[in-house]
Structures are given as structure tokens and as C-alpha cells.
Amino acid sequence: MTQAVHDAPAGAARRINLGAVAPFLALILICALGAAANARFLSFDNLTNVLARSTFIATIAVGQTLVITGGGLDLSVGAMAAFVAGLEILFLNSGLIENATLLIVSAMALSLAVGALCGLFNGLTTTVGKIEPFIVTLGTMGIFRSLLTWLAQGGSITIRDSEVRAAYRQVYFGDLFGVPYPVLVIVGVAIVGAFILTRTAFGRRVRAVGSNEDVARYSGIGVARVRTLTYVLQGLCVAIAVVIYVPRLSSASAATGLGWELMAITAVVVGGTRLKGGVGRVWGTIAGALILEVIGNIMLLSNVVSEYLIGAVQGAIIIIAMLAQRLARNR
């Protein structure tokens, strides 16, 4: 029996790892498909484009991973992004600060604060108000989007000062040793997110709360506090996404962030996080977000599919990718 004891962890670890790498396997598979469809798919430019683009969903999805792992759900992220972006641009246009760099940095700080507050509102309403997160965040989704529409008076809000605009553009289009900033942001957010979820006491509590609320409660964990915090972190992640998003097109409108919530949740689930809570995989989420973005990219790069049927093919690929993952995991 002692012999057996020594073998076991290795076996278990191997199994867990397969689960964790499955989304990456799916991603690689899809990339191979992409390379076959169009040689330019693997070009440096294209890959960085896709990576940079996926920043928004990936960043938001990292927050969503925490929320879902804790047994919650946040449908308001897309609308929240639009709202935060609107406020940030209004601040940039306010001209309160002369120096462009300082102005931009303050605007970023403001975004983070607003995002955290929006998340706090979601969190408190679900936990203290004891209402299904689905309903709460559907409600705040309407609220945030409406507020933006109202701020923009139905149109769009655009950074007016061209100097500010040019300076801020660097945040999306600039790079460090050839690595675009957005890519650095994804990696940074993922590292922090994974660290929080797997290495800190808070992350452990998030898992406990999502896995079995009663056990968490009986273990003296402040369930409401932990859950609320996941929403605050989600808000911060949304704000980080916004900080990268605004410089790209320098504007926000009622169409900003439309449908991001579904994309983020999809990325989370494709990445192997359990929708009912208790199991979360931050790196899987990143792979999930990349899968979504890469599929879209391949669809555009290939000439095979009619423009009307792109959605159908995308849907089918996602289902097939999940099927492949499951098979890989079960092997």
C-alpha cells in the first residue's frame, strides 16, 4: 500500500493538468486550422492584432472567472465598460488638468475607481439584497447602458483634444520591445488573477463559497463579503479593459461593449471554469478568450464561408472545440 501511496499524487496531478491544458490544446488545434486556411494567419502582425484585440474580453473574463467561481454571474460587464469608458472620456474632455500625461493617468485612476464602485454596487445588491445575480446584473446592465446613452445624448463621446488623443493612443498601439502593451496587460492580469485564485486565502474562500455556501458559512467565512469582493474585482477588470479600449478608437457610444458579457462568460466556460461555481481556471479563461477571437479572425481571413453563414460556423466550431476538450480530458 505504501508503494501505491507514492504513485497516486502523480496520477491525480496528471489528470488535473490535462483538464487545465485542454483549452490550450483546443486553441492550438484551432490555430493549426487557421494556418491551413491562410498563410498570413501566423504572421507576426496578425497574431499581435488578434492578441491585442482579445485584451478586452480576456481581461473582463478574468474578473468573470472569479465571480463565477464564487457562485455568481455578471451580465453587466459590457454595459459597465461602456459606462466607464464614457465617464473616462468626459473626464479627458473636461480639461481639468493641463498636462496631458497627468490627465491621462488621472483618467485611468478615475476609471478604476468607477469600475470598482460599479462592481461594489452589483456585489452588494446580490449579497445583501439576496437577489439572483442573474437578475441584479441584468438590471444594472440596463442601468449602465442607459446612463451612457444619456451621457452621450444618444450619440458618441469622443476625445476632443487631439494632443491627448495622440498621447493616449500609445497605450493601445504602443509596445515594449515589440510586445504590444495590450498583450502585456493580458499577461499581467492573468498572472494576478491566477495568483489571487490559487495562491491567496481570498481565492481559496472564493472557491469554497462557490463550491458549497453552507460549508463556507459554517467555516466562518463571510460569504457576502467574499462574493461582493469578487464583483469589485470584476469591476476593476472591466476598468482595466476600458483603459486599454478607450485609446483604440478614442470614443464610446451606446454600441460599446455590446455583447461582451456573453463573450466573457463563454471564454470562462470554454476555459474550464464550472458555471455553477467552485472550480475556476484563470489561464483556461485566457485560452478561451483567445479561442473566441481566433475563430473570428480565421473566419475573416478564410474565403470559404459565405458572409451570411459565419455565425453558424463560429457556433459549430465552439461546440466542436468543447467536444474535443472533453474527449481529451476523458482520455
Ligand X SMILES: Nc1ncnc2c1ncn2[C@@H]1O[C@H](COP(=O)(O)OP(=O)(O)OP(=O)(O)O)[C@@H](O)[C@H]1O
Q: Which residues bind other proteins (CB under 8 A)?
A: 1-9, 11-13, 38, 40, 43, 45-46, 49, 53, 56, 149, 152-156, 158, 169, 173, 199-202, 204-205, 207-208, 210-212, 214-222, 248-251, 253-256, 258-259, 274, 278-279, 296-297, 300-301, 303, 307-308, 310
242 near 111, Cβ under 8 Å? Answer: yes
How deeply is 302 buried, as exposed, middle or buried, from its count of CB atoms within 10 A (0-12, 13-18, 19+)?
Answer: middle
The grid cell for 262 is 456573453
The grid cell for 99 is 498636462
CB atoms within 10 A of CB 137: 28
Nearest approach, Cβ of residue 30 and other proteins (Å): 15
Taking CB under 6 A as the rule, does residue 5 contact ligand X?
A: yes
- Kindly tell me which residue out of 51, 190, 206, 265 binds a copy of itself, with binding defined by CB under 8 A: 265
Q: Which amino acid is at 53?
A: R
Taking CB under 6 A as the rule, does residue 12 contact ligand X?
A: yes
How deeply is 120 buried, as exposed, middle or buried, from its count of CB atoms within 10 A (0-12, 13-18, 19+)?
Answer: middle
User: What CA–CA distance (Å, rounded) separates 93 from 252?
Assistant: 13
Report the partner that residue 331 touches, choosing among other proteins, ligand X, a copy of itself, none (CB closer than 5 to 8 A by kind): none
Residue owning grid cell 458555471: 275
- Which residue in 50, 64, 54 sits closest to 261, CA to CA? 64
- Kindly tell me which residue out of 8, 12, 39, 134 binds a copy of itself, with binding defined by CB under 8 A: 134
CB-wise, 18 or 279, nearer to other proteins?
A: 279
Nearest approach, Cβ of residue 330 and a copy of itself (Å): 9
CB-wise, 32 or 309, nearer to other proteins?
A: 309
277 near 210, Cβ under 8 Å? Answer: yes
Binding residues for ligand X (CB under 6 A) = 4-5, 8, 12
Binding residues for a copy of itself (CB under 8 A) = 75, 125, 129-132, 134-136, 138-143, 145-147, 149-150, 153-154, 262, 265-266, 269-270, 275-276, 306-316, 318-319, 322-323, 326
